[in-house]
Amino acid sequence: MKDVFLDTDPGIDDAMALIYLASCPSVNIRAISTVMGNASLDNCTANALFLKEKFRLTAPIYRGASLCINGKEPHSFPDHVHGKNGLGDVVPINTELCCESHSAHRAMANLALQSPSKITLLAIGQLTNVALAILAHVNFSKDLNEIILMGGSLNFPGNVTAWAEANIYGDPEAADIVLRSEVPITMVGLDVTMKTRISQKFLKDLTSGLGDLGGFLDQINGFYANHYAKHTENYDFPMHDSLAAIFLTNPELFITRRGWLSVVKHGNERGKTLFRADEKGPHTVCVDVDVTNALDLFRQKILDKYS
Ligand code: RIB
Ligand code: CA
């Protein structure tokens, strides 16, 4: 069983990662925190609470950062990808559920302290909350077991600029703090997420077996697919955040390299991730994935739990 702290900016693909994690008997979601990214912090937090109710989760939810680590306002939000509300503007986001009172970074540090070397931090948004936890709580990086992050790219072009992936570009200073920490880190970046694509047939096979919940997933992913089709005339879309969750449950489906990751903070390559191969390095990077088995696993786990 893996004890997981999920840091997320829901987000349509974040919602899919969350339902996958909730479907895995080998995963214990101990806590969830929110960060701005795919939408404002208010929207991402409301979405997390809404999804908690929809997916019948019990994990506490902590509100995180609304500003970048350097105190600056975030870039504009990607309404064209995730809708104004972050979940495709397809259903009203309402729930009676509330957040816990602690901040996200304090909750991360507390949980790591309570369960030293046991917590996997799965970060599928920008890294602001994680960097705050590292800066504010001296033992945090030692207490964590590992960080698995969705973000960055080695050889695939960026998805915000020609060089940068969204989660790293959102707060490169935070990414720099996280990559310089002593925590073992695995990067699940665009090199593998862009090739793991959800087709319309795959989506139908998944959602048609899930009743009302399937209808909701179909609607939010329909918005996401339409965005991708505007550029490619192809409704397939990449599986970003869920693939990081699949690495957490099934790392044997990935080919990885060890080494040292860093991030460019200045100039027009700001937000680009760099990698120096070294078998003794603290970082692991996913360079390839068994797409067929990753997709099969994803669909089967969700159907087993929710159909
Ligand atoms: O680049 C993809 C990442 O950016 C995903 O985490 C997506 O949810 C957005 O945050
Ligand atoms: Ca995300």
Domain boundaries, the chain: 2-306
Residues β-bridged to residue 261: 275
In this structure, what token pair is assigned to residue 300? Answer: 């089967």
Predicted TM-score of the model (pTM): 0.98
Q: What is the per-residue pLDDT across 206-253, written as a single tens digit (0 to 9) for each?
A: 999 999 999 999 999 999 999 999 877 789 999 999 999 999 999 999
The ligand that comes nearest to the alpha carbon of residue 190 is: 1
Q: How far apart are CA 235 and CA 43, in angstroms?
A: 26
The answer on pLDDT for 268 being more than 90 is yes
- The minimum-distance atom of ligand 1 relative to the CA of 126 is 10
- Percent of the chain at pLDDT > 90 equals 97
CA-proximal residue: ligand 1, atom 10 (nearest): 125
At residue 233, the pLDDT reads 79
Burial (CB count within 10 angstroms: exposed 0-12, middle 13-18, buried 19+), residue 115? middle
Among the four given CATH numbers 3.30.56.10, 3.90.245.10, 3.40.50.2300, 3.50.50.60, the one describing domain 2-306: 3.90.245.10
The ligand that comes nearest to the alpha carbon of residue 151 is: 1
At residue 182, the pLDDT reads 87
Q: How far apart are CA 127 and CA 170, in angstroms?
A: 8
- The minimum-distance atom of ligand 1 relative to the CA of 10 is 8
At residue 75, the pLDDT reads 82
Beta-carbon contacts of residue 6 (< 8 Å; ≥ 6 apart): 17, 18, 21, 29, 31, 32, 33, 59, 122, 124
Q: What is the DSSP string of 174-227?
A: HHHHHHTSSS-EEEE-HHHHTTSEE-HHHHHHHHTTSHHHHHHHHHHHHHHHHH
The answer on pLDDT for 36 being more than 90 is yes
Distance of CA 8 from the midpoint of ligand 2 (Å): 6
At residue 80, the pLDDT reads 92
In this structure, what token pair is assigned to residue 101? Answer: 């009172």
Q: What is the per-residue pLDDT across 185-194, written as a single tens digit (0 to 9) for each?
A: 999 999 999 9
At residue 231, the pLDDT reads 78
At residue 262, the pLDDT reads 98
Q: What is the per-residue pLDDT across 108-131, written as a single tens digit (0 to 9) for each?
A: 999 999 999 999 999 999 999 999
- The minimum-distance atom of ligand 1 relative to the CA of 193 is 2
At residue 88, the pLDDT reads 97
Q: Are 285 and 234 in contact (CB under 8 A)?
A: no
The pLDDT mean for the chain works out to 97
Q: Of 82, 227, 240, 283, which residue is the catalytic one?
A: 240
Give catalytic status of residue 240 as yes or no: yes
Site to probe by mutation for ligand 1, drawn from 8, 14, 149 as the one with most ligand atoms within 8 Å of Cβ, is 14
Distance of CA 8 from the midpoint of ligand 1 (Å): 9
Q: What is the per-residue pLDDT across 151-177, written as a single tens digit (0 to 9) for each?
A: 999 999 999 999 999 999 999 999 999
1, amino acid identity: M
At residue 232, the pLDDT reads 79
